[in-house]
Structure 1
Amino acid sequence: MLSLLYDTGARVQELVDLKVGDITLNDTVTVLLTGKGGKSRIVPVMTPTGELIRHYISGSGLTSPVYSRYPLFTNRSNKQLTRAGVTYILKKYAQQAQFHGIEGITGEITPHWLRHSKAMHLLQSGVNLVYIRDLLGHSDISTTEIYARADEKMKRKALTEAYDSPANEELPPWKQNKDLLDWLKSL
């Protein structure tokens, strides 16, 4: 469930609304997400996530067409999983990861954090903002631009690719003269 949430960049509500029939298990596994305003989009998933989904559907006994309108993810009571349920599961596994020393996971993790992370990872990989917009299901590119805040790594890469720095990386001779530097500091 968490892999699918990240890989598709789905909103948490889109995830909990998924039905078994919204998953297409061809060579490329795709997911039909229905977002705000009832707009639908088809999102392909990466091969490892596709394999997880195949195993989940098979292992849960959901392969028969009879289950096509059945919720893909359910809780212990076999009812459709809720947004709060997804958040609970995410926080539970985040705590386990922290316990095992995985860095970069805060206690404030939310399902939206995964959506934002997916958008940023795509942006850092050089994916065009228009494709990111389509993946996230935004109707306007300006909404997607909220995710497009460059991080330090992206800024440094852009600057180094833009031009050669006029600064010489070698220290000038006077910077290597410790006595001169000490005398200047004493002034």
Structure 2
Amino acid sequence: MNEITDLAKYLNRFFVEYLPLERGVSKHTIRSYSDTFTVWYEFFLSQKKIPANKVMLDHITRQNVLTFLNWLEKERNSSPTTRNSRLASLRAFCYFMQYQDVKNINKWQEVLTIKAKKTEQSTVSFLTQEGMSTLLAQIPTDTIQGRRHLAILAFLYDTGARAQELISFTPQNINFSKPMHVTLYGKGKKRRIVPIHEKLCVILRAYMKDKGIDENMVGKDPLFTNAHDRILTTAGLAHIINMYASLVRTQYPGLLPEKISPHTFRHSKATHLLQAGLNIIYVRDILGHNSVRYTEIYARVDSKQKREALDNAYVDLIPRPSQDGVWEKDKELLNWLKGLGK
């Protein structure tokens, strides 16, 4: 029976204790980091003929990490962005190891000196106001599924939420009384209050009525689910978007961008607010960004100012709904890594 490797032991502490308990990172981050180590093991098997149960802490060196990153780009055709994401995961582990393996701190800090590769600034894709209103108008409101889809996509647009913020959103974070708003928890569990429009409230109430959710009750389960009443996934959210985007492309060729993702809704909301004259600082607060270059010298916008500015900038795009454990054996390491964050 193979003994658990030293790397496996420290990965256990990293994923089970350090990331969720000490750092409080999201499941999305844990999943991203675990994916990196899955690929790390694949690299050693394919390039060095070393199986997972033989990969040790000693194999994490600056040179091996650089070789790994080069392999990602040349052999797996990974983009510079993916390469940088993998590097960030390994750097996070090495930062953790500085305090776990102090006698070898120089080794861990050598990996930390590896710089991310510069990437081209990608053009932000967004829907025009006509494109967004046309897409939302494709959703039928005379069926339970249609009202669910409308609630999801209208919420995504009106709040400018990230996909994960929508997926984890709970009913207890809706305030239907004036000033109407929702509370979102973003990266690093950072809390922000986002004003919402009356039409979104109507849509959410119709959806909650279909699900039998009392708006006066405190619900801690995610508000938005899939067709089987299970947790909505990012892939499921993208599927809903693309289903209606396909309808628009058939009827109105050229109206929508070639690719649309959940984040496109967030870009679209920000763009529409700026086009309507909303101050960039207000947009910064609504989206939950840490900074917008030179804007940190200004005080945070108070809720009343933000509400008035948002009401003035509101563009009528949303339709109104119709009134009708840990591995036991080292050979299980890859499966354990793949299951993290699910």
Query: Same-fold call, TM > 0.5?
Result: yes
1:81 counterpart = 2:256: no
Partner of 2:263: 112
1:130 counterpart = 2:281: yes
1:21 counterpart = 2:179: no
Per-residue deviation at 1:78? 1.6
Question: SS where residue 203 of structure 2 aligns?
Answer: helix
Partner of 1:95: 246
Post-superposition CA distance 1:150-172 (Å, at most 9, x none): xxxxxxxxxxxxxxxxxxxxxxx
Aligned-partner Cα distance in 2 for 1:63–1:48: 19
Per-residue deviation at 1:27? 3.5
Structure 2 CA distance for partners of 1:98 and 1:143, relative to 1, 3 Å = farther
Aligned-partner Cα distance in 2 for 1:143–1:102: 40
1:2 counterpart = 2:153: yes
Structure 2 CA distance for partners of 1:28 and 1:100, relative to 1, 3 Å = farther
Aligned-partner Cα distance in 1 for 2:273–2:253: 22
Contact in 2 for aligned 1:33/1:40 (Cα 8 Å): yes
Q: Which has the higher contact order (CA 8 A, sep 6+)?
A: 2
Contact in 2 for aligned 1:20/1:71 (Cα 8 Å): yes
Per-residue deviation at 1:113? 0.8
Aligned-partner Cα distance in 1 for 2:184–2:262: 16
Match of 1:48 among 178, 199, 202: 199
Per-residue deviation at 1:143? 10
Amino acid at match of 2:209: S
Partner of 1:11: 162
Aligned-partner Cα distance in 1 for 2:217–2:198: 26
TM-score (norm 1): 0.71
Aligned-partner Cα distance in 1 for 2:214–2:235: 27
Structure 1 residues not aligned, in runs of 5+: 145-187
Contact in 1 for aligned 2:180/2:198 (Cα 8 Å): yes
Partner of 1:59: 210
Which consecutive segments of 4 or more residues in structure 1 shift more than 4 A? Answer: 64-67
Match of 2:185 among 34, 53, 58: 34
Aligned-partner Cα distance in 1 for 2:236–2:184: 19
Amino acid at match of 2:188: G
Number of equivalent positions:
144
Partner of 1:139: 290
Amino acid at match of 1:47: E
Per-residue deviation at 1:55? 1.2
TM-score (norm 2): 0.40
Question: SS where residue 31 of structure 1 aligns?
Answer: strand
Per-residue deviation at 1:90? 0.5
Question: SS where residue 206 of structure 2 aligns?
Answer: helix
The structure with the greater share of residues assigned to helix is 2
Amino acid at match of 1:34: Y
Amino acid at match of 1:105: L
Contact in 1 for aligned 2:171/2:215 (Cα 8 Å): no
Aligned-partner Cα distance in 2 for 1:143–1:89: 37
